[in-house]
Structure 1
Amino acid sequence: TVPLGAFRIVFVVFHLHRLYCRACDRTLTERVEMLRGKNRWTVQLAQQVLELVDKMNLQSIAWYLRMSWDTVKKIHAQWLRHKARQRYKELSALRYLAIDELAIRKGHRYVTVVLDLERRCPVWVGKGRGNKALEPFYKLLAHRGIAPVAVAMDMWPTYTELTMKYFPSALIVYDRFHIVANANKALDETRRLLARDADILEAKAIKGTRWVLLRNAGRLANNPKAQEKLQLVARFNEPLYHAYLLKEQLRELWDTCRNDFEARDYLHDWIQQATSSSVYPMVRFARSIAAHRRGILDWFSCRISTGPLEGLNNKIKVLKRNAYGYRDRAYFTLRILFINEAKHVFVG
């Protein structure tokens, strides 16, 4: 056992023997039990680093053990690659997936993350977004004969087309929170358009209503000031108030309807109301909902969402911010794959 600790540098020198085997006509090198492969660090040191990596950042570990930062990173990355190989052997258990992209740097730099919704762990991190980021993972699943039961995603066409191409029997479930967020965007665009052409009274009624219109109605029930704002909008700007009601009616779809049949009728009526309104952003949004109707209704057959993945995205942002970015993209990918196993302890 080699003593390890702060302010102690230990060098171990080995005199290895090379042996010639007449049976296999090969020259072999003596095996050293305290080393693995061609690593230039001992097993004991690697275990020490892995014990500290969940409690300290890499720079602090390198200072504590008087090692190079690159060596500490190599030890951790080697262990993460070993765990990643073990995880990919367990892909046959995949049934429910969630897909979303995350901006990791300015200039539209993205990673596409696929989450196993049952185990709550990432199973794929693709560089960029779109076909190039997701298709290699789908090819891997198809090659192994693995077909997920359902996939949760937003309404981006690329994800839908790839899923239908490789897994035509899988349910495509559009995330309800993304849909409501798009409804809020359409409502906010409506507010800006109407405010631009409003007269004095209408402009006064619209001013300061953005936060009221975008919040859920249930959170405004006990807020007299918010109720007063809504009454002003209803009195002086009927198209904007109608758009607000459409947003709220759509949000209640998932809470009001008990099954696919009720939801189909409810959504059909909502689309008719929205497309017959005089508000163009809501009409455009309603057409998008009509085009993605099947994926919205599939939620009532398989109630999954990308919500757990959104929470994971926040952890990834914290990971990146604590490290002030990552120079090694492969190492960053490995950290994302096992981010739920990390214990975030901040060391100054």
Structure 2
Amino acid sequence: MAGKLLFVSCLIGLDEIALKKGHKDFVVIVTARDSGKITILAVLNDRKKSTVKAFLSSIPKRLKKTVTTVCSDMYDGYINAAKEVFGEDVVVVIDRFHVAKLYRGGMDNLRKKEIARLKTELAEEEHKKLKGVMWLLRKNAKDLVYEELEVLERLFKYSPMLEIAYKLRNDLTDIFDSDISKSEAQIKIDDWMDKAIKSGLTCFNNFLSTLDTRMCEIVNYFINRQTSGFVEGLNNKIKVTKRRCYGIFNVKHLFQRIHLDLNGYSLFT
């Protein structure tokens, strides 16, 4: 369901939520941000490319001109729909936090395999000394204290490949945290890809494949550092609304409830 298109922000965010926990009946939340103000534009019945494209195409021409960026996750349906509707007039950005989730997940998978291996190979007392490494590996390296660094040093002594993956992951995060241009970022990420491939590790293979196909949309982040974090924040509010209302499974009712929570009764007057 779509609301009255009174305006369209310079940034449109696309993301989905499941109406029912454990089910795949996703609905797409289309939101807009302009000067810090967040507006919900639509709740779409499904995440098909055709559905998303139909909504974006329905935006009046005069309002389309105000859109400069579309930010989404890595789903091809969202990306391709936005490109086909807006062409080169709009920058399509893959949200950096979805990017981070993918490459951090790769290292996390390696961590699980290595910890399982060490549990069978190390004496029980020695394995206990590695307690809590999951949180230490996820923690910002700059925030680690001496005792925590000692635990990681012990871990890396038993798993050199995990140390390589850890450094590669942190190097990539440093790139995204750097104040650099899109062209500089692409050079640095290309260098990172070369290091990841030469390392012989396979935990980043899925991410490397994504870089091969979606490098442009990923490095578009460095143009204005736009993210869809505001969409994630809205999704959390929607989840709270669903729980408060004992579940809302009707798309029209969901849109009305979200709009009421955000903007009061202006849509229905």
Q: TM-score, normalised by structure 2?
A: 0.85
- The letter for the 2-side match of 1:100 is D
- TM-aligned CA deviation for residue 124 of structure 1: 1.3
SS at match of 2:199: coil
Aligned length, in residue pairs:
256
CA distance in 2, matches of 1:330, 1:231: 54
Whichever structure has more helix as a proportion of its residues is: 2
Distance 1:201 1:149, change over 3 A: farther
Return 5+ residue gaps in structure 1 as ranges.
Answer: 1-80, 344-348
CA distance in 2, matches of 1:342, 1:271: 48
SS at match of 2:19: strand
**Counterpart check, 1:208 vs 2:124:** no
**Counterpart check, 1:110 vs 2:30:** no
Q: Deviations over 1:85-144 (max 9, x none)?
A: 5x32x23x4321111111231212222111112131111111222325412212202666
> In the alignment, is the contact (CA less than 8 A) between 1:125 and 1:336 conserved in 2?
no
- TM-aligned CA deviation for residue 272 of structure 1: 0.8
**Counterpart check, 1:152 vs 2:71:** yes
SS at match of 2:203: helix
Aligned to 2:82: 163
Task: Map 1:62-73; keep pairs closer than 5 Å.
Answer: none
CA distance in 2, matches of 1:201, 1:236: 12
Give the fraction of aligned pairs with identical amino acids, expressed as a percent: 25
- The letter for the 2-side match of 1:339 is D
- The letter for the 2-side match of 1:260 is K
Aligned to 2:52: 134
- The letter for the 1-side match of 2:136 is V
Return 5+ residue gaps in structure 2 as ranges.
Answer: none
- TM-aligned CA deviation for residue 179 of structure 1: 1.1
Distance 1:201 1:175, change over 3 A: farther
Q: Larger C-alpha radius of gyration, 1 or 2?
A: 1
CA distance in 1, matches of 2:197, 2:263: 47
Aligned to 2:234: 312
CA distance in 2, matches of 1:294, 1:308: 22
Aligned to 2:202: 280
Deviates more, 1:241-250 or 1:325-334: 325-334
Q: TM-score, normalised by structure 1?
A: 0.67
Aligned to 1:238: 160
CA distance in 2, matches of 1:229, 1:271: 28
SS at match of 1:301: helix
Task: Write out the 4+ residue segments of structure 1 that deviate beyond 6 Å after TM superposition.
Answer: 142-145
- TM-aligned CA deviation for residue 302 of structure 1: 2.6
> In the alignment, is the contact (CA less than 8 A) between 1:316 and 1:339 conserved in 2?
no
Aligned to 1:174: 94
Distance 1:145 1:208, change over 3 A: closer
Larger RCO, structure (CA 8 Å, separation 6 or more): 2
- The letter for the 1-side match of 2:262 is N
- TM-aligned CA deviation for residue 306 of structure 1: 0.7
Distance 1:245 1:320, change over 3 A: same
CA distance in 2, matches of 1:135, 1:201: 57
> In the alignment, is the contact (CA less than 8 A) between 2:50 and 2:81 conserved in 1?
no
CA distance in 1, matches of 2:85, 2:168: 36
> In the alignment, is the contact (CA less than 8 A) between 2:43 and 2:251 conserved in 1?
no
> In the alignment, is the contact (CA less than 8 A) between 1:191 and 1:206 conserved in 2?
no
SS at match of 1:281: coil
